[in-house]
Copies of this chain bind each other. A is one copy, B any other.
Amino acid sequence: MEYRFSSRVSQLTSSAVRDILKLTQGKDLISFAGGLPAEELFPVDAVREAADRVFRAGPGVLQYGLTEGYTPLREQLCERMSKKGMAVTPDEMLMTTGSQQAIYQLVGVLTEPGDTVLVEMPTYLSSLQVFALHGVQTAAVESDEDGMIPEYAEEMIKRHKPKLLYAVMTFGNPTGRVWSVERRKAILDICRKYGVLIIEDDPYGDIKFNPEDSIPTLFSLEGKAQDSIVVYTGSFSKTVAPALRTGWAMGDKRIMEMAAKTKQAADLHSSTLDQQILSQLLQFFDLDGHIAMISREYGNRMLEMHRLLEQAALPGVKWQKARGGMFLWLELPDGLDAEALLRCAVQKGVAFVPGSPFYAASPKRNTARLNFTHNTGERTAAGVARFAEAIGEFTARS
């Protein structure tokens, strides 16, 4: 039997990250590849207690829910958001299956096939899959340590007339970078001028290594959801746990209503059990204390990986310390192809993600993303040693 698949889907490549994740399952490989939080830090006891509270309310908790999401959770989230300077009401919010689904639904309602989206260079890998699936073109904007470069953004807007700009501005994936406040304001101004909507994808914003580090979201710079050009996506995957698959979108009510309509067709609604558990957690668990704890721990792990890399004295390898999030972004020596390096590294028992797939265009093949949150101590040390060994072979060869 010959099956005929949608042309858009046939062209879709599977995410390199997820494929490596799959390949390495069960193998004795030290993986810096996946964007995996540290599972030993998941608040499983608190989640169990929260679940118990949910179940105690009786069988009604297992009924169908609203597409928009569990109302008490949306109310609690709005309160949390307001503490971060983001004024939003429950009807300006849509609960989703992770922020990945929030991005997918938003791109679906805000673009037509053939439209263009501006993205960072490099950008979040799985956002590129979303764009491809919706038949949307991407235009990559030159970016540096401080974020997208406004002049390039304006030039690209004039040239491509994009509907959307998509970026992870705080502790970005893959680079870990933080956009400066000036850049945030400059990009906001430009997008306002040309009527380009912005998807501010912020799954990592809470994971900051210096608690004093104050980074305003674009959404907070806009002040409110109504008439805003910013739509914000958030997630509990990094702050609580990925298995609960709960994220959200927030923005103008008209956009949220449209996204709820398409979500209704896509899956009716996300897990109500997960949403109720999170609602109980927000009420009875010190989530902010928990986030502070994992942020401290992740900060230490980042420093440790940084120290190990420095110690390895890899010739021509450059990176910057991360201020938050989950990743270090490495520039390898000119001419070193990170995909070839990965094949060698996997044989030595360590995995990472080559940088190329994160580029919508003109990939820098000598870049790599290393996750520092999932391993500790000896495993991190052994992993970096194996990584250094692989690099050594390549630099010796060339």
The complex places the Cα of A274 from the Cα of B62 at a distance, in Å, of: 11
Q: Are A59 and B40 within 8 A (Cβ)?
A: yes
Residue A267 lies at the interface, judged by CB distance under 8 Å to chain B = yes
Write the chain B residue with the least CB distance to A240.
B62
Q: Which residues of B contact A104 (CB under 8 A)?
A: 265-267
A287 proximal to B (CB < 8 A): no
Q: Which residues of B contact A133 (CB under 8 A)?
A: 108, 262, 265-266
Closest residue on chain B to residue A58 by CB atoms = B44
Question: What residues of B have a CB within 8 angstroms of the CB of A61 in the complex?
Answer: 44, 243
On whether the beta carbons of B266 and A64 are closer than 8 Å, the reply is no
Measured between alpha carbons, how far is A6 from B262 in the docked complex, in Å? 11
Contact of B268 with A98 in the complex, beta carbons under 8 Å: yes
A312 at the interface (CB under 8 A from B): no
Contact with B along A12-27 (1 / 0, CB 8 A): 1011001001100100
Cβ-defined contact, B262 with A3, below 8 A:
no
Q: Report how many copies the assembly holds.
A: 2
Q: Is the CB of A243 within 8 A of B64?
A: yes
Chain B residues, Cβ within 8 Å of A65? 242-243
In chain A, residues 112-151, which have Cβ atoms closer than 8 Å to a Cβ of chain B?
Answer: 112-113, 126, 129-130, 132-133
Residues of chain B with a CB closer than 8 A to A270's CB: 97, 245, 271
Most B-side CB within 10 Å, residue of A5, A21, A111, A255? A5
Report the Cα distance A45→B244, complex, angstroms. Answer: 20
A318 at the interface (CB under 8 A from B): no
Q: Is the beta-carbon distance between A63 and B243 smaller than 8 angstroms? A: yes
Assess whether B39 is in contact with A97, with CB atoms less than 8 Å apart: no
- CA distance in complex: A109, B264 (Å): 19
Q: Is the CB of B6 within 8 A of A109?
A: yes
Is B269 a contact partner of A245 (Cβ separation < 8 A)?
A: yes
In the complex, chain A residues 1-58 whose Cβ is within 8 Å of any chain B Cβ: 1, 3-10, 12, 14-15, 18, 21-22, 25, 34, 36-37, 39-45, 47-48, 51-52, 55, 58
Question: A381 at the A/B interface (Cβ < 8 Å)?
Answer: no
Using CB atoms, name the residue of chain B closest to A129: B265
Given that A3-B252, A245-B271 are contacting pairs, would A39 and B14 also be in contact in the complex, using a CB cutoff of 8 Å? no
Chain B hits for A48, CB < 8 A: 51-52, 55
Residues in B with CB closer than 8 Å to A109 are 5-6, 9
14 contacts between A and B (CB under 8 A): A1-B227, A6-B109, A6-B111, A6-B112, A9-B109, A14-B264, A36-B63, A41-B59, A45-B55, A63-B241, A100-B266, A100-B268, A133-B262, A245-B268
Q: A-side interface residues toward B, CB under 8 Å?
A: 1, 3-10, 12, 14-15, 18, 21-22, 25, 34, 36-37, 39-45, 47-48, 51-52, 55, 58-67, 96-98, 100-101, 104, 108-113, 126, 129-130, 132-133, 163, 197, 227-229, 237, 241-245, 252, 254-255, 258, 261-262, 264-274, 276-277
Additional pairs, 15, CB under 8 Å, beyond known A42-B63, A45-B55, A273-B277: A1-B229, A1-B252, A3-B255, A6-B111, A9-B109, A21-B64, A36-B64, A42-B60, A48-B51, A64-B243, A126-B264, A130-B265, A133-B266, A243-B273, A244-B273
